[in-house]
Structure 1
Amino acid sequence: MIAFLFPGQGSQFAGFLHTLGGTTPHARFAETIEEASDVLHTDVLSLDHADALDSTVAVQIGLLVAGVATVRALRDEGIEPDAVAGLSVGAYGAAVACNAVSFDDALRLLHLRAQLMETAFPHGYGMLAVSGLSECELDAVIASAHTQAAFIANLNAPRQIVVAGADADLDQVRELALQAGARKAERLAVSVPSHCVLLDDAARELTEAASKIAFHAPSVPYISNRGARPLRQADAIRTDLATNLRYPVRWHDSTIVLGELGAQVLVEMPPGRTLTQLAEDALPGVAKVAIEQTSVPSAAALIRARAAG
């Protein structure tokens, strides 16, 4: 069983769309970038420049395009997923990969999502990754900080948790977390407070927009962000995509579910290899392949070999 994983915001780097497929990019990459550019009436290939990546809209659109382009290229090589999961914005790529929503509709809905997030919090907010404390321990740290805006947002691993909130509050949480024994506490390359109550209004508006888009039952299980469980109904996936910006992402639990479903190979879409690295502890006996800048034929051969045992 092969599971496709789609990374979230923070995995991007300058030029990541230009380096898809390494030195021998697959034709599907250029085709997908051109298609997205036509839908959004913008040059998508310009969205991965360093200055452009200051924009939440540019980052999220770029990640979706990179994921979908890679899925298409892998399919041309005969590699299909048996389950899909995406972290935060990565859920949109996962929904396209399991045929729950069209690429064009996913682009339009994601564009609105990113705009709502950016407009609600244009500056002064972000996210902090804390390593070495449990959820309960970090909850206690946040409570002791008496912050106005700091919330647990992503549970990536039992002791790798992301906090969202205002800059000043995140600075305070960082200091107290390190005093409480955290190994590391670093700000992420994210300029909005994702996955917390601060985005409640944005989630309501996005839900209204999603209600007007056609969704379909997925061809393979889609693992939800909010509940970390397999979804097999169109409306359930619609709700997950529209509201995941407001609720914590239980990524570690999602990874465990993939193992319970029988995943033999976890394949991470570009950019980066954060998700496969997180899975090393969660599912040590499962093979992992991060596409990164590898040529698609080489990646496909590796996936087939790992799936065969």
Structure 2
Amino acid sequence: MSRFRMLSDSQWALMEELLPARSGRAGRPFADARLMVEGIIYRYRCGIAWRDLPPVFGPWQTVWTWHRRLAGEGIWDTVLGILLGAAEAAGLVDWVVSVDSTIAWAHQHATNVSRRTGAGSNYTNPCLEPPDHAIGRSRGGLSTKVHQLVDGHGRPLVVLLTPGQAGDSPMFLPLMGQLRINSPGRGRPRTRPDRVRADKAYSSRAIRAHLRERGIGAVIAEPRDQAGHRKRRGTRGGRPPAFDRDDYRGRNVVERSFCDLEQWRGLATRYDKLAITYRAAVAVHMVFVWTKDLAPLRSGGNHV
């Protein structure tokens, strides 16, 4: 079983107390819930079909049912929220955040489902399936775009999906709207980072105004066309936006985060027909990342 297992004992100890013991309200309790989670992780890490799941995990239909129900009930987002609150209490969250997106090409197994295009593509409710299933046609074919907000160490905080042809800039405000991390004690959840690092795709007046109104530092590169337009207007164009080039170099953490995400082959290529199950798998990866950093605190005697 060892070669099929990704979770350490300390990681599972963090998850076990946060996950339900049943696959649904009326389901029978599992003899080993860890086996179900390991099966989900193994499937997405290897990018195999569900029916090709090794027998060591039990019937593949059981593992699939467990994953589908947890996805529909938003359990993985709940678990992630609790872990992020524990990380904030332990001082692990770096509030200099970075934002970007990556493309996941949709396999033909994910696309043989009817889709209503032209519907709202912003997938902001993890428990609600969008009409287009977050699949769109971009250069290269059908794809899904994964938008992430990560902390200063590249650990994911928020994830949203859109069809592949969707732009990055319109998803910035929904991502920021989803950022809520419980603070220690009884204070309000923290929703405002210290600074935001982003590339030229996020350089818009609306985004800069939003950050300025909330007192959040903007480290966003300015495209050449915007700089040229401002200069042509002369004094009416205003001053160039502040930009710290040295600080901007730290934006590479979000690129490294995507590299880590795409080590799971079932996330680098989308095989899931439903956006709700694919996004839940991304949330599983986020939980996996945070438990790796929180597990040493628990084993060291700190309460997490």
Into which bin does the TM-score normalised by the smaller protein fall? under 0.3
- Give the TM-score taking structure 1 as reference length: 0.24
Q: State which structure, 1 or 2, has the greater radius of gyration over its C-alpha atoms.
A: 2
**Normalized against structure 2, the TM-score is what?**
0.25
